[in-house]
Structure 1
Amino acid sequence: MTAELPEPQAKPTSVTNQFESTLNVWSGGTTHAGVWECGPGEFTADRSADTEVCHILTGSGTVVGEDGTSADIGPGSLLVLPRGWRGTWRITETVRKTYVIVGSP
């Protein structure tokens, strides 16, 4: 997917000083969709209030839930982080993904 992303910004939940860029392409109520990119490193994620469905376009890494369940991700991976999920992303090669986030009504 070709998308011109904004200038990368420091990722607030990064434990390794990563930068990320997000382009929101659609919003409606508590749902929004877009394109996101983040460089190598590690960050925490919290989906306590919403569900995220993402499709990995480029890059690689591993996503690890607090319960220890892990998934290796790469181009073509479809990842669902259900409401209540919390864990860590470990990116080994810059990841670009499309996402849909569905919030609580």
Structure 2
Amino acid sequence: MDAPTVPPVAFLADAPGADLPAVRPKPTSTTGQQETTHPLWRSPDGLVEVGVWECDPGHFTATRDGYDEVCQVLTGTATVRTEGGDAVELHPGSTLAMPAGWRGAWHIHSTLRKVYVVRTHPGGG
């Protein structure tokens, strides 16, 4: 029996300054924002993804339906408000965890770049 194959190492030398793919419209933006995502690694089962995301200033709504996300802010600032709840201020070095089912809004004050880890729940729930 062969040993399982280990996925390759993902590496991005300068995540805060790296070139990212072309921006595209942010679908849930209420202010016409642009975003880009650079996936770095996905688990063989497709349930975990690690990458870099960036979005320009403005406001958008967000939900975490069927997946958990943990992110660390690399550059920029934002206020994130949980639906019907508290707000947190994000800045470089901030870490945010949003469990499946989280709903809220982001107000990005200056272009924000984050490293994210997303874990999808099997079956989406």
Q: TM-score over 0.5 for the alignment?
A: yes
| Larger strand share, 1 or 2 | 1
TM-score scaled by structure 1? Answer: 0.96
**What residue number does 2:11 align with?**
none
Deviation above 4 Å: which 4+ runs of structure 1? none
In structure 1, C-alpha distance between the alignment counterparts of 2:87 and 2:110, rounded to whole Å: 17
**What residue number does 1:66 align with?**
83
Amino acid of the residue matched to residue 6 of structure 1?
P
* Paired positions, count: 105
Q: Structure 1 unaligned segments of length 5 or more: list them.
A: none
**What residue number does 1:76 align with?**
93
In structure 1, C-alpha distance between the alignment counterparts of 2:117 and 2:18, rounded to whole Å: 16
Shift of 1:73: 0.2
Q: Structure 2 unaligned segments of length 5 or more: list them.
A: 1-14
CA RMSD of aligned residues (A): 0.8
Determine whether 1:11 maps to 2:11. Answer: no
**Deviations, residues 33-75 of structure 1 (Å, cap 9, x unaligned):** 1000000000111102110000000000100011221110000
Determine whether 1:36 maps to 2:53. Answer: yes
Which residue of the other structure, out of 7, 11, 27, is the alignment partner of 2:42? 27
1:13 counterpart SS class = coil
Percent identical? 49
> Higher Cα Rg: structure 1 or 2?
2
TM-score scaled by structure 2? Answer: 0.81
Whose relative contact order is higher, 1 or 2, with alpha carbons under 8 Å and at least 6 apart?
Answer: 1
